[in-house]
Chain A
Amino acid sequence: MKKLEDKIIKKIYRMEAGKTIGQIISEVSLTILLILSSLFIFSVIVEILNEQASFDLFDFLRDDFEIIKENFLNNSLLFFQELPLPLIYILIGLSLLLVWLLYIVIINSNKIKNKLVSIYKFWLK
């Protein structure tokens, strides 16, 4: 019976090790992929805005407070109209996905840590 019990436990550990490592690899690679693609989209948006000279709309910020007060609303609206909206939507979507993924990783981190400790102890035993 002892032999059978050991066999079952060994199988469970092997299965769990594969599952946990797979989960870690997929979560880390997905996080890296989301960060890289968000950065890429962000740099494209900045590039487009630079080419359009949209940032010049905020040059008035160097002026006096009265001028800033007068122009802030109009210039901000103009700036938002010049934003490449499809790319902005994609960036928002990617950021939300990234936040959701990080939330899941943080919630599961303790569980995964415990699993790794158990697996490590079992294979060292």
Chain B
Amino acid sequence: MAELSDKDIIEKIKNGEIDYYSYIVKKYTTSIYRYIERKLFKKDEADDLVQNVFISFYKAIEKFDEKRPIKPYLFQIVQNELKMYYRSKKPTTSLYDVIYLEDDRLQDITDDDYLSHLNQVERNIFQYISKGYSYEEIEKLLKKPVNTIKSIVRRGRIKIKSAYADKK
């Protein structure tokens, strides 16, 4: 078996001899596992990610050019898996939750000085928010799509933050 190169192994797998895939798994699992473990510090999740990497590689093996080295390709899959993992761990807010401003200092927007930096539509939305309305309720009141309201809120926040920073 020691005589077989990665190229020969890939050719054999492409020809249906899937038992040769175990050589690839045995050869690269340790390095991939160590790399992922260093990034995650959680053994269980590292196990899952390593499994996903090898399954993804197996699925892509038909299109894989056997002349190319395997290791960089595997590490590219590792990067993608890690990206997906971090994305899945990112906190998300439910659409139906009551909205609170991210910055505690901006929780109470009653100061006309700050609101004066906003246009009429933005001001209306922020006033609804300060009264405790949800996006869904504001959507019904203003007859605007939720995504539009979200972008208006985001723009408004940036304006207020920059005004607040200037004043400081």
Q: For A8, give its contact among B17, B18, B30, B51 (CB under 8 Å).
A: B51
**Please, how many residues of chain B have a CB less than 8 angstroms from a CB on the other chain?**
18
B47: CB under 8 A from chain A?
A: yes
Contact in complex: A12, B54 (CB < 8 Å): yes
> In the complex, what distance in Å separates the CA atom of A118 from the CA atom of B33?
26
B15 and A111 contact, CB distance less than 8 A: yes
Stretch at the interface among B19-27, B71-79, B108-116: B19-27
How big is chain A's contact interface, by range? 20 to 34
**Which of B18, B47, B50 lies in contact with A119, CB distance below 8 A?**
B18
Total of A-B residue pairs, C-beta within 8 Å:
56
Given A12-B54, A12-B55, A15-B55, are A5 and B18 also a contact pair (CB < 8 Å)?
A: no
CA A105 to CA B58, docked complex, whole Å: 22
Cross-chain contact of B16 among A7, A113, A122 (Cβ < 8 A): A113
B55, A4: Cβ atoms under 8 Å? no
Within the complex, what minimum Cβ distance (angstroms) separates B69 from chain A? 20
Q: Is the CB of B16 within 8 A of A110?
A: yes
B-side residues, CB < 8 A to A, are: 15-19, 21-22, 25-26, 29-30, 33, 47, 50-51, 54-55, 58
